Amino acid sequence: MSESTTILYETPTPLVARIVLNRVESRNAQDTHLLYELNDAFDRAAQDDAIRVIILAANGPHFSSGHDLRETGHLENLMAHRRVGTWCGISCGGAEPIMAREKELFQGLCERWQAIPKPTIAQVQGRCVSGGLMLVWPCDLVMASDDAQFQDNTLDMGIGGVEYFAHPWELGPRKAKELLFTSDWLTAAEAHRLGMVNHVVPRAELEAATLALAERIARKSIFALKLAKEAVNGAMSAQGRKIAMDHAFGLHQLAHSHNMQVHGVPVDPAFFAHGPLRKPG
């Protein structure tokens, strides 16, 4: 793995790797470069037999503000990296390039991370918005600080849901609809009550509590951990998770195409008049 500019890779204790988002100036917004560097870090931890548990954390006051809406040259940036999937059409016209890019960067990478055969723990503080959920939800466990807040505001953008559509599995269908319909914030306490978050701790204790959980899990047999994860992931597959996600991804692309026809851009430009981070309450 080459030296990263947006991701830190740490081994805070034997058997545990910690991957840290490090674009603090943009609230860890995800551009193309960050996502590929994050994927490289996940690959490094997954392929290291000395690592049993992987923590995903973030520097700064907020875990992630979602996609970097200021990024330009999206397709050129994608072409500059070695892609991990097989989707083509980046240089084609119409709706195909956007779909191909998101199939690679969003759904494709998230599915790779969800399938890593080692336990992964998201360590979340502050705000986690829309695309930020795509980093948290592929993880097996979620530790949150008591000030953590979660939001999916993609309906404000004229889109029916973020590209990685795990909402019904994470929240249940009714709360998933409410989160999407309103774009309201979900507190750490409410996320814990719904089962999306495993534990909520004071902000000052988040790093230590997450590491303690990772160390406890790392004492188990690595092969047994892999098998347990495969079993739970298999149960979710039997429930139709992947089929439903593919269906939602297609609807998401329809929204992009619609906005291109109506507004000339993939998202409703009215969103930017209100700002990407609405205050809670």
The per-residue DSSP string of the chain comes to -PPPSSEEEEEEETTEEEEEE--GGGTT-B-HHHHHHHHHHHHHHHH-TT--EEEEEE-SS-SB--B-TT---HHHHHHTS--SS----TT-STTHHHHHHHIIIIIIHHHHHHT-SS-EEEEE-SEEEGGGHHHHTTSSEEEEETT-EEE--GGGGT-SS-SS--HHHHH-HHHHHHHHHH---EEHHHHHHHTS-SEEE-GGGHHHHHHHHHHHHHTS-HHHHHHHHHHHHHHHHHTTHHHHHHHHHHHHHHHHHHHHHHHSSSS-THHHHH-SSPPP-
| Global pTM exceeds 0.85 | yes
- Please state the domain extents for the chain: 7-274
Residue 133: the pLDDT is 97
Min mean pLDDT across 43-47, 77-81, 140-144 is at 77-81
Summarize pLDDT for 71-114 with one digit per residue, the tens: 888 888 888 888 888 888 888 889 999 999 999 999 999 999 99
When pLDDT is cut at 50, 70 and 90, the band that residue 163 belongs to is: confident
Residue 274: the pLDDT is 62
pLDDT (average), residues 54-79: 93
- In CATH, the number for domain 7-274 is 3.90.226.10
